[in-house]
A and B are shown apart, each in its own frame.
Chain A
Amino acid sequence: MSDTATNHHGAGEDHLDHPPHGSFKGYMIGFVLSVILTAIPFALVMTGVLDKSVTVPLILLMALVQIVVHMVYFLHMNMSVEDGWSMLALIFTVVFVIITLAGSMWVLYNMNANMMPMSMPVSPATQAATAVGG
């Protein structure tokens, strides 16, 4: 039924099948920003001017900003592409990606931390014995 509203809206605007396109200016802005946001993290890591604890969050931040720059200026994403369905699919994906990444790292970090220390190579027989004993 929401289709009715969409059709109505579409007919009113005489909106043809024109997906959003960029302009030369838009592509150049995206390109220059990308160059800057690539050059800075590479320079930071290659020269090592800053402490590791500062460098890592900085390069992560710049990667995040650059992804947004690419989305906006190269992929022309906004709320109105395909009546917002593209953005909805993107938000769903971002949530999934965050859960996958954060969840895997969290769970497996804890598994690693709680593992029984195995400093020496263990033979299958000893391993079985430990498993029974533990």
Chain B
Amino acid sequence: MMATQSHSHGSDTMNTQAYFDGDRPLFHLPKEPHHPDGHSTMLGFWIYLMSDCLLFAGLFATFAVLEHSYAGGPGPKELFELPLVALNTAMLLFSSITYGFSMLVMERGKKNATLMWLGITGLFGLAFLSIEMHEFAGLIAEGATPQSSAFLSAFFTLVGTHGLHVTLGTIWLVTLMVQVAQKGLIPANRRRLMCLSMFWHFLDIVWIGVFTFVYLMGVAQ
């Protein structure tokens, strides 16, 4: 039906010829149309992010189920320091907006400004990771290790997986900064920066889930 519609348009003969053999519609393209380099990268990367989302859904579900299984050990109210979590949240939110700024200057072709904003984003990412490591180290020093209870196993797995994502994102960021510094804002690098942009903002979205479900609801209950 679609093909008939296109045929009746008739204005674009090139287009029509490619899909019709006389009046007979072609159900297979005679040859693969030319696609510009990397034209499907963004959609492909988006689908990867959605699959990553399912991974986090699994970890969130595990946490939701084991949330109250303290095994006689400490619970969220005794363990979590909300001011520290608020600071961490701020770091990630700042890194999101500075990454946005780097994308804006990238569009205007400003290489050095892009590198500067990416660098600031990386520093906020490192600050987030340092605070998280500090928090984990404090918990483990108090004896609240992943082995202590099902609640803590689920907590360290969920928050740790997010932290691992941020770590990999930061390594990726440094890699792209080196690439941009050496090769400039070539189309391939712009595409890579846009993928990392999606990844970085996605991690901030996952963090909204983490601070709400794990920290705030844990302490509120």
Contacts and interface: CB of A to CB of B under 8 A. Distances in A.
Interface of A: 1-2, 4-5, 7-8, 11, 17, 19, 21-24, 27-28, 30-31, 34-35, 38, 41-42, 44-46, 48, 52, 55-56, 59-60, 62-63, 66-67, 70-71, 74-75, 82, 85-86, 89-90, 92-93, 96-97, 100-101, 103-105, 108
- A-B pairs with lowest CB-CB distance, top 5: A104-B61, A63-B212, A27-B100, A93-B50, A97-B57
Given A23-B104, A38-B90, 9 more contacts: A1-B2, A4-B3, A5-B2, A8-B15, A11-B12, A27-B100, A41-B216, A55-B220, A67-B208
Interface of B: 1-3, 5-6, 9, 12, 15, 19, 25, 27, 33, 36, 39, 42-43, 46-47, 50, 53-54, 57-58, 60-62, 64-65, 82-83, 85-86, 89-90, 93, 96-97, 100-101, 103-104, 107, 194, 198, 201-202, 204-205, 208-209, 211-213, 216-217, 219-221
Given A56-B217, A74-B96, A74-B204, A108 B65 contact: yes
A1 B65 contact: no
B220 A45 contact: yes
Contacts of A5: 2, 5-6
B89 A38 contact: yes
A104 B61 CA distance: 6
A60 to B, nearest CB: 7
Contact of A86 (B46, B104, B107): B46
B208 A101 contact: no
A101 B86 CA distance: 25
Contacts of A89: 43, 46-47, 50
A48 B77 CA distance: 13
Contacts of B1: 1
Contact of B93 (A34, A56, A71, A108): A34
Contacts of A75: 198, 201-202, 205
B6 A8 contact: yes
